[in-house]
């Protein structure tokens, strides 16, 4: 594999390998790892996640990857959070208030307030709120696949990069400095999702 080294943080929860395989498909040397040295050597870092916020945070801490994630963000390298991995970047979540998040994006993860069924489990169209290199070539309304009952509500609305509509305006993607995060699953979102990941890999190659 000749592409940039992308570390996918392996803390033992969910199908983390699907993110690794999608990144490999778009040219990354993506490795599922809990090795702090390998993460430090990577050009970019990905934090995926599925399931419950509290369980994921507990598993990340048991795997000794909390400080590793903070160091990766502080290094300025491209960092991508996906689904519950995105939620973990916030200060905390209404799903499990007893567990603190990573606090990388100030704000909280809140239940969807819609009368529509939870979770939202469907394809949905993004409304891009601010230009971002990860959206290059995707148009203004790319389609992405969602499975979630909560969304991130940042303290600074400028950190919202894209929304979608699901009985309310739902915050779907975020940008804070070198950190980009998605509530949707780009690895399950066909052409548009792979396009976003390819843009991320290009950023990694340029880092």
- Residues with catalytic function: 83, 185, 187
Q: Are 43 and 70 in contact (CB under 8 A)?
A: no
**Residues with Cβ within 8 Å of residue 192, at least 6 apart in sequence:** 138, 142, 143, 144, 186
Sign of CA dihedral 88, 82, 70, 17: positive
Residue 92: beta bridge partners? 100, 108
Burial class (CB in 10 A: 0-12, 13-18, 19+), 98: exposed
Enter the tokens of residue 118: 């939870």
| Residue whose tokens read 């799903």 | 95
152's tokens: 């991130």
5: its two tokens: 């080294």
């Amino acid at each position: 594999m000749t592409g940039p080294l992308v570390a996918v943080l392996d803390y033992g929860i969910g199908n983390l390998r699907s993110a690794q395989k999608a990144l490999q498909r778009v040219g990354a040397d993506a490795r599922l790892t809990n090795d702090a040295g390998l993460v430090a050597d990577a050009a970019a870092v990905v934090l995926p996640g599925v399931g419950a916020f509290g369980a994921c945070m507990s598993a990340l801490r048991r795997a000794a990857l909390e400080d590793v994630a903070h160091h990766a963000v502080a290094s300025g390298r491209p960092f991508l959070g996906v689904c519950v991995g995105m939620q973990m970047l916030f200060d905390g979540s209404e799903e499990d208030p007893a567990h603190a998040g990573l606090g990388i994006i100030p704000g909280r993860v809140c239940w969807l307030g819609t009368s529509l069924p939870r979770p939202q489990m469907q394809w949905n169209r993004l409304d891009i709120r601010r230009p971002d290199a990860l959206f290059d070539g995707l148009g203004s309304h790319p389609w992405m696949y969602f499975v979630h009952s909560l969304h991130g509500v940042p303290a600074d609305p400028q950190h919202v990069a894209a929304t979608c509509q699901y009985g309310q305006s739902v915050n779907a993607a975020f940008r804070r400095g070198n950190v980009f995060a998605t509530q949707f699953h780009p690895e399950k979102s066909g052409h548009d999702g792979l396009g976003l990941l390819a843009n991320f890999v290009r950023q990694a190659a340029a880092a």
